[in-house]
Amino acid sequence: MKQKFLNRSIRITLAVLLGMIMMGIVAWSAPQTPLLAGDAVVEEGSRTQAALAASILLTKTVGANPAVCAAAKSITVPPNTPVTYCYQATNTGNVTFTLHTLNDVPLGLLLFNFPYLLAPGDSTFVTHTTVITQSTTNTASWLASDGSTPASDSDSASVTVAPPSIAFTKTVGVEPDVCASTQFIAVPLGSDVTYCYTVKNTGLLSLASHSLVDDQLGALLNNQAYSLAPGAS
């Protein structure tokens, strides 16, 4: 009997509730479950939808080895040295990119709508080798898209061109076969003295030709061929 009473009570309650809904006394709507994308929820009226975030991170580096992606943001090289820029793009959002455009000023357009599947969390890189004649800092921009949702980022790298440089020292002594350390000596009139001219390559480039002129003794070297490596004397 108790079971039947409960069933009957439930039926009565449901009937009353249905009548109240039909009379407009109670309003009812189905529950909605929000769609989450990370911590982002976008509500449009009564609808809730996932917020898809498109994001790309570009890291530009430069080095002298064309076979590797360098780690340095700046380097110093001799004039007319080939350097290799590396452009690494990382998908930091939750949109899978399929098209990529890379522009570097002043090197120009390196990629244009290049088809490549870059999933969220993945990275890829492009290298470009060029000859540097003067110090420069240039900026690159990477544009990625899935065909409708774009994302972009930019980064720069610097190259300092160091011109050839030398350190020159002139000394004088009385020993003909010894390069003296003194720049001033006192000797009797008519004595023989030996001047020593020392040059050190303080630059980054080997020096192949040398000229030496003494304002009292004249031209001592004229385009003399000799390979003087960086750091050598």
pLDDT in tens, 138-190: 999 999 999 999 999 999 999 999 999 999 999 999 999 999 999 999 999 99
The whole-number pLDDT of residue 54 equals 96
Per-residue pLDDT at 126: 96
**What backbone phi and psi angles, to 5 degrees, belong to 150?**
-95, 160
Q: Residue 51: its pLDDT value, please?
A: 58
The residue-averaged pLDDT of 205-230 equals: 95
Averaged pLDDT, 63-88:
95
Which 3 state secondary structure label does DSSP give 22? helix
Residue 15 has pLDDT above 80, yes or no: no
Work out the burial of residue 128: count CB atoms within 10 Å of its CB; fewer than 13 is exposed, 13-18 middle, 19 or more buried.
Answer: middle
Integer Cα distance of 148 and 150 in angstroms? 6
Residue 196, classed as helix, strand or coil, is strand
pLDDT score recorded for residue 120: 97
Q: Using a pLDDT cut of 90, give the percent of the chain over it.
A: 73
- Of 12-21, 92-101, 218-227, the least confident: 12-21
Mean predicted confidence (pLDDT) in 90-101: 97
Does the bond joining 115 to the residue before it have cis omega, within 30 degrees of 0? no
The pair of three-digit structure tokens given for residue 140, joined into one six-digit string: 């690159």
